[in-house]
Each structure stands twice: as structure tokens, then as C-alpha cells.
Amino acid sequence: MSSEAASFGRVERWLAWRYLATRQREGFVSFIAVFSLIGVALGVAALIVVLSVMGGFRELLIGRLIGMNGHIAIAARDGYVKAEAPLLAKLKAVPEVKAVRLTLERQALISANGQTRGALLRGVRTEDLLSRDIVVGNIVTGDPGGFELRGGVVMGDRLRLSLGVRVGNAVTLVTHRLNDSGTVAPRYEDYELLASFFSRRYEFDSALVFVPLELLQEDLEVGPSSVTSIELEIADPRNAPAVADKVRAALGRDDLRVAHWLTLNARFVGALQVERVMMFIILTLIVAVAALNVVASFTMLVRVKRGSIAILRTMGAGPGTIVRAFFMAAAGVGLVGTTAGAALGLLIAVSMKPIARFVSSLGGGGPGAGWSELEFITSAPVRIDPIEIGLVVVIALVLSLIAAAYPAWRSTRVEPVEALRNE
């Protein structure tokens, strides 16, 4: 029985190959099948490349967002958080917490050279500032070292350029305070510019100013342990919701609000997720169109091969043999196209940075207007997700098999007597 099954397997494979290698008057059908294969390959390759590039952009944007703000934020429901030693010890004892950072924020005005801009003051400790790779890894000018000892500020480079200042120049921070009479009065403090950074996030580069925590606490008269939030850095940002629950349990306080970066940036993250799903659906339609070409080409092949099918049936070949032969031929196009497309997509994704730099060089890319945006594109990492790649391959194979099923079923509708009569 096994030898007979093996024999039928060889016959079906031979027939499938003959159908794929058809010549003479059936050459047009073979031509369409080849282009169907190319269509499946290009569809799979496009899907892999676009998902990898968009995944890289998504990872880069989220990294810049949480790199400046931390993974988990603890704030008071009313007023300031008292960042005292017992509280900080509890936070450091929570598993997966790598660093605890103190932050005091206040909206203010910053002025220099007759220019005034709105700014977000962020009081931090020296070690907290220097531990932010997004800042120290993107210093444009100056040196943030000795931040608290030197009593200066570090600001976004777009803000520095708009104020027209250089390292060593003085800038004036304008905050407000409440007088004894209950009126609000402005408060002016001069600081030296120590350094500027370029994080490639507009809201940070154009408005964020880091100030030594103790100096800002004194200027705002809020007390030596008062901060607006305590930020936690954890080992794996994807575990932020679970770690946030552990932090709430460890604190056991209703006066403190614990939030993770996913909830703090829910709209931004949600928009990225919607974009990811919609892009996947839209690009999958390319593969679906190629699969429909497989249906069309092999349905035509069945019609062309009606005489051959009738002869095979009269020679004793069963309907199952014919069905499996056509199914193997059509599915082979999808399988080869999917494999070639996956290989091509991965090759392009791995080589995306050199390709992007080459394309930008053709467009005359260079320092000047729009260069930062162009640099953002050419330096964006390509994130190849094995799960996404596997899902693309599976979907392409399923669509190809579904497309192969219809012409295979059509082959069973050929009646030998009618087919031979019309030949």
C-alpha cells in the first residue's frame, strides 16, 4: 500500500511539473503563472520591509519618549511628593527597578538677548541627568558634567538657537511666587548655560531646560525634599504595567498616584498600534491580489488541459490524482513565491540603512534645511520581528493554498467524454 501511495505521489509531482512547464499554445498561461509567482514574492517582500521599517520607527519614537520621562512615574494626588529616604528605599527594593530619579517641574519663561520663550523647567540631580542617554548621548555643545556644582542649566538646542546664546552665556528664568499679601509676583534668576542637547523630539529640544534640583527647590521655595514626581527606570519597559502594580503594593499609600508610560502616553501608543494593524491589513491585500492571479492562471490552465485530463482519466487516473496534481502546481507557485519574497524582504530590511543613505545622496542630502529630518530617516533602526515575519509567511502560504484549491476543484468538473469530443 505504501509503495502504491509513493507511486501516485511521483506521478502527481511529475504532472504538476508538466503543468508548470507547459509550452506551445499554453505558453501564455505559463507566462501568467510566472508573473503570479513574482507578484506573491513582491507582496511578501513589501510586507516584510514595510513592517520592519515601521517597527524600527515605532521603537525609536517610543525609546525617545520614555528615555526622557522614565518608565513609571509616582506623583502626589495633591501638592508635592516628599522624596524622603524611607520612600526611596521602598522603591529601590522593588524587583526590576534599576534607577530612581527625582524630578521637580515648573512652567516658566526663559529670556536672553532680548528674546523670551516659554520653557519647561525640570529640576534633576546630576546623577539623574548624566544617566539619561538621550541627553548625554546627544550633546551638541558644552559639557553637562558637574551640573549641580556649577549651578548652570542644560537646554534643548532648538531653544538655545532661538535665544541666540552660547555655552557660558547667562539666561534668565522667570518663575512666579505667592507674596504674603496673596498676590502673584514674578521671580527672576540668572543661570549660566552649560550645554545643549538635540534629542530629535521637538517638544524637548524647543522647550526643555534642566536645572539643578536643589537650586530649583530653593528658587521655588518648596522645601528640600519636595518633588513633583519620582521616575523609575526598569529593566524591561514592556513589563511596566506589572511593575507598577508591585510599586503600588509596596507603597500602600492612597495619596500617591502610580502610572506607567503606556497609560501616560496612551493616545500616542494607541495611534502607533492602529497604524501598525492598518498597515499590515493594507499590505496583505497585495498578497491577496497576487493569490487571485494564481486562481486566474490555473483556472485557465485547467480549461486548456481538458483534453489531457480526459486522457488521463480514461487511462485510469482517478479524480484525486488530477486534483492533487493541479493543487501541487498552484500551491508550488505560492510556496516558491513566498519563500523568495521572504528572502528578498529580509535582505532589503537588513540592507535598509545603506540603501537609505544611497537614496539620500542621490537627492543631494547634506547639512542644511531639512537635514535633521533626513538624518532621522537614514538613521532609523530596522526592527525585524520574528513573530511578524512568521505571521506574514503563514498568511501568504494560507492565501496561496486557498487560491490553489479552486483550480484543483475545477479539474474534477472535467467530463472525459465531453472533453474528448471537443478536442
Per-residue pLDDT of the chain (423 residues; tens, 9 = 90+): 344 444 446 655 555 555 565 554 444 456 666 777 888 888 888 888 888 888 888 887 777 777 788 889 999 888 888 988 889 899 988 888 888 999 999 999 999 988 999 999 999 998 889 888 888 889 999 988 878 787 889 999 999 999 999 998 999 998 877 666 667 778 888 899 999 999 888 889 999 999 999 888 888 888 888 899 999 988 888 888 899 999 998 888 888 899 988 888 888 888 888 888 888 888 888 888 877 777 776 666 666 655 565 555 555 555 556 666 667 777 777 788 888 989 998 998 888 777 766 666 665 544 444 445 555 555 667 888 888 888 888 888 888 777 767 665 665 555 554 544 455
Return the pLDDT at 360. 61
Residue 366: its H or E element: none
Gyration radius of the chain over CA positions: 33
Return the pLDDT at 403. 74
User: Where does 67-169 show beta strands of DSSP type E?
Assistant: 72-76, 81-82, 97-112, 115-124, 139-142, 152-156
> Of 207, 209, 178, whose CA–CA distance to 191 is shortest?
209
Return the pLDDT at 197. 93
DSSP 381: P
Please tell me the distance from the alpha carbon of residue 286 to that of residue 220, in angstroms, as a whole number: 59
Vertex 107, ends 105 and 109: CA angle to 5°? 130
Burial (CB count <10 Å: 0-12, 13-18, 19+), residue 202: exposed
DSSP 185: E
- Measured in residues, the chain has a length of 423
Return the pLDDT at 303. 63
Taking a C-beta distance cutoff of 8 angstroms, is the pair 127, 276 a contact? no
For residue 312, what are the contacts with CB-CB under 8 A and spacing of at least 6? 15, 321, 322
Report strand pairing: 115-124 vs 97-112. antiparallel
Q: Residue ranges per domain, the chain?
A: 2-62+269-422, 79-254
Backbone angles phi, psi at 150, to 5 degrees: -85, -15
Please tell me the distance from the alpha carbon of residue 233 to that of residue 76, in angstroms, as a whole number: 19
Vertex 371, ends 367 and 376: CA angle to 5°? 130
Q: How far, in Å, are 6, 56, 66, 257, 330 from residue 261 at the CA level?
A: 59, 19, 7, 13, 48
